[in-house]
Structure 1
Amino acid sequence: MPLDRLDLRILSLYQRDTTLSGEQIGAQVGLSAAAVQRRLKRLRDEGVIQAETAQLDCRPLGLNLTALVHVDLVDESARAARAFVERVLARPEVQQCYGVTGEADYVLVIVAADLPAYEAFCQACLLHDPNVRSFKTQIVLDALRRGGPLALPEDGPAQASPPPPA
């Protein structure tokens, strides 16, 4: 089912604070609390809302190292790539995993306690994997934003951008 303007306004508020009540959201979008809850249920059922989680600060938890890891595979077949992805997604250090274009096949966002913990991850997942041709690591010096709300179109689903002028 396509998302309408009210769905997008509800999602915009809800993604910033999932503790907002139906009444609070409804007051801002012009719906009853019950209507907001029905829409949220539908959005969950349709998979638009995939999860509702707490966003934690890494540093107080002793997770002081974030790394961006660009991985180049030897065998990029569906079977081999799926095996690689399943293996890395099983690791709690892997916070994000993207299949990408360009020099790397995958970019991983790794969060670990420190450099030795990151090195242990590399030993376990990358260095001894015969399908990993190479990997490059960038250590994050300053995490200015971790996740965050998506930029949602205000007037309905986003339309394709017109091509730039020639």
Structure 2
Amino acid sequence: MPESPTHPLDAFDRAILAILQQDNTTPQRVIGERVNLSAPAVQRRIRRMEQAGVIQANVAIVDPAALGHPITIFVEVELVSETAGDIDAAKRSFLAAPEVQQCYYVTGDVDFMLVVLVPSMTAYEALTRRLFFNNANIRKFRTFVAMDRVKAGLAVPVA
């Protein structure tokens, strides 16, 4: 049921998604009451959105500092070569690094933007050696350390 001309998300789907993005443990009966559908209808819609990939995962959002990773770092990465194979190799490298929480292949002056969580700057230095300095296809990288997490929303606007 991806957003497409043949299967657009209707107002019920969007209302269900808005509730689930706030708390995905909300009982289907409660969701149904809020959106004026029966619990079985809500269940069918959720299952259809899961099967279509609209709902990609049901996860717990955890405070990184509570798990010993208080430092958030944003990294711009520029490659030497941008062949399809080189880009795919970089993607695989970033995917394999558990410290890399988010990775975006972007347009502009850099090739990738990474969001990294580390327990210390020493750990970040080790990561830079592993991911960047030991990779001949990394031209340069630039680091930005977050001073405060003002907003870290994961909810996609549904309106």
TM-score, normalised with respect to structure 1:
0.90
Which residue of the partner structure matches residue 158 of structure 1? none
Unaligned stretches of 5+ in structure 1? 154-166
Which residue of the partner structure matches residue 38 of structure 2? 32
Query: More relative contact order in 1 or in 2 (CA 8 Å, sep 6+)?
Result: 1
**C-alpha separation in 2, matches of 1:149 and 1:129:** 35
**CA deviation after TM superposition for structure 1 residue 2, in Å:** 1.5
**C-alpha separation in 2, matches of 1:47 and 1:12:** 16
**C-alpha separation in 2, matches of 1:110 and 1:104:** 17
Which residue of the partner structure matches residue 3 of structure 2? none
Unaligned stretches of 5+ in structure 2? 1-6
**C-alpha separation in 1, matches of 2:95 and 2:50:** 23
Matches within 5 A, 1:1-166: 1-153=7-159
**CA deviation after TM superposition for structure 1 residue 59, in Å:** 1.2
SS at match of 1:147: coil
- Runs of 4+ in structure 1 over 4 Å off: none
**C-alpha separation in 2, matches of 1:104 and 1:71:** 6
**C-alpha separation in 2, matches of 1:129 and 1:147:** 32
**C-alpha separation in 2, matches of 1:63 and 1:117:** 10
Percent of residue pairs bearing the same amino acid type: 41
One-letter code aligned to 2:137: N
What CA deviation, in whole Å up to 9, does each residue of 1:90-129 have, x standing for no partner? Answer: 1110000011111110000000101011111111111110
Q: Alignment RMSD, CA only?
A: 0.8
**C-alpha separation in 1, matches of 2:27 and 2:33:** 10
SS at match of 1:97: strand
**CA deviation after TM superposition for structure 1 residue 5, in Å:** 0.9
Distance 1:67 1:47, change over 3 A: same
What CA deviation, in whole Å up to 9, does each residue of 1:28-84 have, x standing for no partner? Answer: 100001100100000000000001111000112111111000000011111110001
